[in-house]
Amino acid sequence: MAGKFVIALALSLGLTSGLALADGDTAATAPAAVNLFAKPLDLRGTLGDAKIEMHLQLKPDPTEGIQGTYVIAGQSGKILLAGESENTDVIMEESVNGKDVSGEWAGTLVGNTFSGTWSTTDDAVTKPFVLVVQHLAQTARSGK
């Protein structure tokens, strides 16, 4: 599965570069996504029919990408996230147990809205997601 993620990431990032050059609006919004991940984010919205809350931030070494967690409303367990962002495109893997990949997120972060498609690792199930930045999280509050 990791090979599939690397190939998908490489294709996504390669195609993104071409789109950013072809579409002036996409290129204009690219700095906003970079600046937005400069501080931790709290987001709320939907994953399919479920309401979720997500927290995203740069990894301690920002060159290694982004990390975070999300919680489905009515459930107590946090689901771990790790991934990469390039301009407005974000691709992440999730893990319910902290070891195995349980799903994949592919979307765009434009302005205060992160939207795209979540899928199982075998693409058998896909769900749309739309999340809105609630506020910039306070680093001290996150305890990290």
CA distance 115 to 17: 19
Q: Please list, in sequence order, all residues whose beta carbon lies within 8 angstroms of the beta carbon of residue 15, skipping any fewer than 6 positions away.
A: none
* Whether the model pTM is above 0.75: no
Q: Is the dihedral of CA 33, 131, 97, 95 positive or negative?
A: negative
Tens place of pLDDT per residue across the chain (144 aa): 444 443 333 333 333 333 333 334 433 433 444 456 778 999 999 999 999 999 999 998 888 999 999 999 999 899 999 999 988 999 999 999 999 999 999 999 988 999 999 999 999 999 999 999 997 655 544 444
Beta pairing partners, 67: 57, 82
